[in-house]
Amino acid sequence: MSDYAWYVIQSKPHKENQLCAYLRAQKLDVYYPTLRVTPANPRSSKIRPLFPRYLFVHTSLDEVGMSALRWLPHAIGIVQFDGYAAPVSDAVIYEIKRRVSALQESGGPTFHGLKRGDRVRITQGALAGYEALFDMRLSGSERVQVLLEMLGRQVRMQLHASQIERWR
Residue type at position 141? S
Q: What confidence tier does 165 reach under pLDDT thresholds 50, 70, 90?
A: confident
42-101 pLDDT, tens digit each: 777 778 888 889 999 999 998 888 888 888 999 999 999 998 999 999 999 999 998 888
User: pTM of this prediction?
Assistant: 0.65
Task: State the average pLDDT for the chain.
Answer: 86
According to the model, what pLDDT value does residue 32 have? 96
CA distance linking residue 30 with residue 14, whole number of Å: 17
Average pLDDT over residues 97-120: 76
- Percentage, residues of the chain above pLDDT 70: 89
Confidence check: pLDDT of 6 > 70: yes
